[in-house]
Amino acid sequence: MTTTAVTHLSPCAELAERVLLPGDPHRALSVAQALLEKPPRMFNHSRGLWGYSGIAADGEPLTIQSTGMGGPSAAIVSEELIALGARRLVRIGTCAALDDRLELGALLAAETVLALDGASAALRKGEVDFIFGDAISLAFWINGTDSGDCCAFSGGPFVESRFFGEGIGIAVRKGNDVLRQALNWALFRVWEKGRYTDLWLRYFSVSPF
pLDDT reported for residue 79: 94
pLDDT reported for residue 187: 86
Task: Judge contact between 204 and 136, C-beta under 8 A.
Answer: yes
Q: Where are the domains of the chain?
A: 18-91, 111-166, 168-209
Task: Judge contact between 66 and 47, C-beta under 8 A.
Answer: no
Task: Judge contact between 119 and 131, C-beta under 8 A.
Answer: yes
H/E run at residue 41: strand 41-44
Closest by Cα among 65, 62, 61 to 81: 65
Task: Judge contact between 76 and 9, C-beta under 8 A.
Answer: no
pLDDT reported for residue 207: 57
The partner residues of 88 in beta bridges, in order of sequence, read: 18
pLDDT tens track of the chain, all 209 residues? 555 678 899 999 999 999 999 999 999 999 999 999 988 899 999 989 999 999 999 999 999 999 988 778 899 999 999 999 999 999 998 777 777 888 878 888 777 766 657 888 888 899 888 888 777 778 788 888 888 899 988 876 666 665 566 666 788 998 999 999 999 999 889 888 888 778 877 776 655 55
pLDDT reported for residue 164: 63
Question: At a CB cut-off of 8 Å and minimum separation 6, what does 141 contact?
Answer: 120, 147
Closest by Cα among 68, 201, 67 to 135: 201
Q: Is 77 exposed, middle or buried (0-12, 13-18, 19+ CB in 10 A)?
A: buried
